[in-house]
């Protein structure tokens, strides 16, 4: 089965950006690690990153016919993008939301996700492991739903 990984704004600067919060791993390393991890679990992961809301919405729409699941870290869009929320609600593809940092330990505005109500689940605060857990969750889910 095919999964799509979407990383949103500023995550292209992973490894460089606030490493105390987001760690030292670059986006390229993250994508390579996760692609290999998915492969070990008989899943085919495609990786996409954009700083643009519309491009993320297009990627969600395009996933409709091509992917069995989406793992998304929408970055700051998490907290206010009703357009990304509506895009997820508009497609029949299950979505898992991931945040590298523990958003609940941070500023108040990060405590709210407008995306979460249209996702299957949410994983926060576990760093890069969170993305791996999302892959494992999809693996089990897909095995149950063949
Ligand atoms: C983030 C948390 C968001 O609040 C922030 O805007 C990000 C990254 C995370 O992965 O912890 O860009 O989604």
**Per residue in 122-134, pLDDT tens?**
999 999 999 999 9
Helix 53-63 to helix 82-90 angle (10° resolution) is 10
CATH number of domain containing 35: 3.40.50.9100
Annotated catalytic residues are 22, 99
How high is the pLDDT of residue 145?
84
pLDDT in tens, 67-121: 999 999 999 999 999 999 999 999 999 999 999 999 999 999 999 999 999 999 9
Cβ(101) – ligand 1 distance below 6 Å: yes
How high is the pLDDT of residue 97?
98
CA torsion angle for 82, 53, 113, 13 (degrees, to 10)?
A: -170
Which residue range is the domain that position 84 belongs to? 2-144
Nearest atom in ligand 1 to 101's CA? 11
Rounded to whole angstroms, the Cα distance separating 82 from 64 reads 19
Q: Which of 100, 106, 109, 111 to mutate to test the pocket of ligand 1 (most atoms within 8 A of CB)?
A: 100
pLDDT in tens, 36-69: 999 999 999 999 999 999 999 999 999 999 999 9
Cβ(100) – ligand 1 distance below 6 Å: yes
Nearest atom in ligand 1 to 125's CA? 11
How high is the pLDDT of residue 112?
98
Domain count for the chain: 1
Residue nearest to atom 9 of ligand 1 (CA): 99
């Amino acid at each position: 089965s095919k999964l799509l990984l979407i990383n949103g704004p500023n995550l292209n600067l992973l490894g460089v950006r606030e490493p105390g919060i987001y760690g030292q791993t670059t986006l390229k390393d993250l994508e390579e690690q996760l692609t290999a991890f998915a492969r070990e679990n008989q899943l085919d992961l495609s990786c996409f990153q954009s700083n643009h809301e519309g491009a993320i919405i297009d990627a969600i729409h395009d996933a409709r016919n091509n992917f069995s699941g989406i793992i998304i870290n929408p970055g700051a869009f998490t907290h206010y993008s009703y357009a990304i929320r509506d895009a997820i609600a508009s497609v029949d593809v299950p979505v898992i939301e991931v945040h590298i940092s523990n958003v609940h330990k941070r500023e108040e505005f990060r405590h709210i996700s407008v995306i979460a109500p249209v996702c299957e689940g949410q994983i926060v605060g576990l760093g890069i492991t969170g993305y791996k857990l999302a892959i494992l969750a999809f693996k089990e889910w897909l095995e149950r739903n063949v």
